[in-house]
Amino acid sequence: MARPITIQDVKTFLIQTASAGTRFIIVKVITSEPGLYGIGCATFTQRFRAVAAAIEDHLKPFAIGWDVMRSEEFFQMAMVQGSWRNGPVLNNAVSGIDMALWDIKGKLANMPVYDLLGGKSREAAAVYAHADGRDPQEVVDNVLKYQEQGYHFIRVQMGGYGGKTMQQAKPEGARNGNYFDPRAYTRAMLKMMEYVRAHVGGDVELLHDVHERLSPIDTVMFAKDVEQFKLFFLEDSLAPEDIEWFRMIRQLCATPIAMGELLNNPHEWRLLIEERLVDFIRMHVSQLGGITPARNAALHANVYGIRTAWHGPGDTSPVGHAANVHLDVWEPNFGIQEWCRFDQLIYDMFPGMPEVRKGYMYPNDKPGLGIDLNEALAAKYPCKDEVDFWTQTRLPDGSPARP
């Protein structure tokens, strides 16, 4: 009987470029088979050093010597080996190795990961791009530019998340932060959507991201108000702590709902799926723990007729985007894929990254995830220790707001 191929080493790469802005955490799993390795995404950009420490100090010693073919057992045991479980730090650390093991198994089988999952259900994944603007006309201009490039699904925002560029009146001595006025935001977004619809027509599919910044009752009202604009979906309109309020949204309007960016464990999305409170699940795949739990979530959602729309912003690494598209082309219940549009430096750093052409993302047909890391180039772009500002959301009186 042949000796099993085992994990010999786990390396962690922390990468940050000026163009991408966010910090990527990439994991490389090296095996006992010469030249055979896999890479995975463990990106939690706001707590990147905590994830790196979890990998290096805890998961790496646990993983050394593990049979690479027993990836399901690795995932299940890694999630409980620390007794306390779930949360973005642990889940992302596990994800880095989980994705790398899928990559390795695909290389051993000489098959792309989508074939390991069950094979293609489609040739490519439809993606949506982000059209922002300082005013409604600038949003329209950007929507038209994306349409010219072949995008049919376009997310419309104005002034960033929560309209943060709007002038705010705040108390004397109020602390700095990303200020926004929830009521002013909803009024401005409704005017923007009305303007956009009037100028681009009804053929283009529009999306909008609330980014969990409204109170539950304001969210219910907003979801009802935007129903007239026939959105493809309203994204992350409630915080994870308030998901029961989706029941009221369902009772009052037919606005399609997508939810999941901040969710960490099955108990958070099980209610949404089994009560059919949302139309799309859009979790961050590495925050779930990797491809293994994302596969399970997709199959669970499929039973209830709910589609996927995996989180795919600039703080999903190129390896994470590669994992997304392998899931996308396999899933029977795929809906849409978020896409952030990296520049050429990132394509050079991550050869084999999925390509987007005329609004569709295509995986390559290489074994595994089909993506690699140029370690020499990545070494020129180390992560910087910075305090993120955009996540420090404050209400008009200066008090902290979620998320």
Q: Is 161 a catalytic residue?
A: yes
Q: What are 191's two structure tokens?
A: 């005017």
Dmax over CA atoms of the chain, in Å, equals 75
- Cα–Cα distance for residue pair 105/67, rounded to 1 Å: 11
Residue 66 vs residues 12, 95, 111, 173, 216: alpha-carbon distances, Å: 18, 16, 22, 56, 46
Partners of 27 in beta bridges? 12, 40
How many other C-beta atoms can be found within 10 angstroms of the C-beta atom of residue 228? 13
Active site residue 146: no
Q: Taking the CA atoms of 138, 139, 144 and 145 in sequence, report the sign of the dihedral they define.
A: positive
- What is the DSSP track for 113-133? HHHHHT--SSSSEEEEEEE--
32-35 contacts: CB < 8 A, separation 24 or more?
A: 32/5, 32/6, 32/7, 32/8, 33/5
d(CA 136, CA 145): 14
**Coil vs helix vs strand at 212:** coil
Q: How far is CA 365 from the centre of its chain?
A: 23
Tell me which of 130, 211, 284, 321 is the catalytic residue: 211
- Catalytic position from the list 37, 114, 128, 161: 161
Contact 236, 259 (CB under 8 A): yes
What the block records as the tokens of 168 is 């705010």
Q: Are strands 355-357 and 337-338 parallel, antiparallel or unpaired?
A: unpaired
What residues act catalytically?
A: 161, 211
